[in-house]
Structure 1
C-alpha cells in the first residue's frame, strides 16, 4: 500500500506546484535591486471594487509599508535618470488624475514620506477628477509631481500625427499652467509608436512611461518607453512582492 501513498503524495505535490505556477509568476526572473521599480496605479478608493484600475486605500498602505520596510528610495518619474546608480529606487505613478488620488492616496504618501507622479489627462471625461486647487496643493507639497497624459485620454495610434502632437503638447501646457512644470508623459492605454516617442522628446518631456510590464535599467534607449510594474487591487502580499521583484503579478 506504500506505493499508493507515494502516488497520492506525488499528485498532491504536483497539484500544489501547478496551482502556484498558475497563480504566481514564479517562472519570471528576479530583477536586481539596482533596477528602478516604476509602479503603475490609477485609483485608490474604498468605494469601488479592487481591480486592475483600483487599489483600495488599505492595500495601497500595505504596499507603502512594504516599500518603506525594504528601505526604498522614492523619486519622481522625472528624477529617474539621476537615481540610475542607486539601489531600491521606486517611482510610484498614477494615471488619469482621479480625485481619489487626493482624497486617499495623498494622505498616505505624506504619512510614509513617499513621492508619486500623477499623469493628468487634463480634459478627460467620465471620471471624478482632481480640481485645480487640489492639483496646486499637491504640487506645492513636494510629495507629488504632475506629468501629462494627453488632454482627452486618447489612443494616439488612432490620431493623425498632427492631432497626436497637439494632444500631447496642449496637455503639457495645461499642467504647466497649474503647477509651473510638466517634465514627464504617460501614453494613454499604452498605445504609441516610435513617432510618438520622438514627439515627446520634441515637446520637451524628460521621459515617458508605457504600460510594458517589466523592470529594466533606465537608459537613453528606453527613456521615452519606460516599463512599469503592474499592480492589482486584489493581489495578496506574496503577489505584491513577486510583482515588485519581477515586474508583473498573476491572480
Structure 2
C-alpha cells in the first residue's frame, strides 16, 4: 500500500513540476519580457481554443504587470532604443478584429502599448479592417508589423513565393500606417534564408514562437512568452519570471 501511495505522490509531483516549472531559474529583470497573444475574446470561433484568451484573463494579466512595475513598449521601441528594467512588449499575431473590439479598450484603460502583426489575406478569419488599423495606430498605443499576406509557412514555401509574401506584407502595412519595422514568422517557422531576407527587406526585428526570456542579441530570432487560454495566474507568474511555465 505504501509503495502505491508513494508512487502516486511521485507521479503527482512530476505532473505538477511539468506544468508549473517552479524549478527553472529566475531570469533577470534587465531582460525584456515579450509576450505572445493571438485573439482576445470569450468566443473561440474558428481558432484553436487555446489561442483565444478571454478579456477577463487579459485584464488580470495587465493588472499583474502594472502592479509589479513593468513598463510597456512596442517591439520596435524595445529593440531600437535603451530600455529600463522590467520592460514588456505585448505582441499579437494575425490581426484579429477582436484586437480592436476587445483588446484595444483594455490597452487604453491600463495605459499600455502593443504590437500587432497583420496577415491581411488569412483565409476564413475575422480580421481587422483598415479603418480599425488606422484608428489604433493613430492612438500611439499600437504598432503594426507584418506576418506575411496569407499566413504561409515561409520555411516550406518556394523561395519566390515566401519572399513575395514577406515583401508585400511589409508594403501593405506601410501603405496603411506609414512604416513597418517588425515581422513575425507564421507558425514560428523559418530558416536562415528567411531571416536574412526579412533583414534585407528593411525590417529591424522578427519574432519567433520559441519560448524564453533572453537579451536581445539576435533581433531576427527573438523568443517570446506564449500566453494561452489555459494559462492560469500561477503559470503566468512563472512564465514572467522564468520564461516558460511548462515543459
TM-score, normalised to structure 1, is: 0.91
Give the alignment's Cα RMSD to 1 decimal.
2.1
Q: Are the structure 2 counterparts of residues 11 and 137 from structure 1 closer, same or farther at C-alpha, using a change threshold of 3 Å?
A: same
| Residues 4-61 of structure 1, C-alpha deviations (whole Å, 9 max, x = no match) | 99x9997786465334213211232211101111100000001128943111000000
* Map 1:22-171 → 2, pairs under 5 A: 22-48=18-44, 51-171=49-169
- Is 1:195 matched up with 2:200? no
Q: CA deviation at 1:234?
A: 2.1
Indicate whether 1:21 and 2:21 are aligned.
no
Give the TM-score, by structure 2 length. Answer: 0.92
Give yes or no for contact 1:165–1:199 (8 Å, CA) kept in 2.
Answer: yes
Change (3 A) 1:70 1:162: same
Task: Select 1:215's aligned residue among 210, 213, 216.
Answer: 213
CA 1:180 to 1:26, structure 2 compared with 1: closer, same or farther past 3 Å?
same
User: In 2, distance between residues paired with 1:147 and 1:85?
Assistant: 20
Which range moves more in the overlay, 238-247 or 12-21? 12-21
For residues 136 and 17 of structure 1, what CA distance do their matches in structure 2 show? 50
Q: Counterpart of 2:187 in 1: which secondary structure?
A: helix
Residues 231 and 248 in structure 1, CA contact (< 8 A), matched pair in contact too = no
**Count of aligned pairs:** 245
Q: Any conservation in 1 of the 2:89–2:115 contact (CA below 8 Å)?
A: yes
Query: Contact conserved, 2:42 with 2:55, CA < 8 A, in 1?
Result: yes
Larger radius of gyration between Structure 1 and Structure 2: 1
Paired position in structure 2 for 1:174: 172
Of 8-17 and 31-40, deviating more is 8-17
Per-residue deviation, 1:157: 1.6
Moved more, 161-170 or 17-26: 17-26
State the SS of the aligned residue for 2:52. Answer: coil
Unaligned runs of 5+ in 2: none
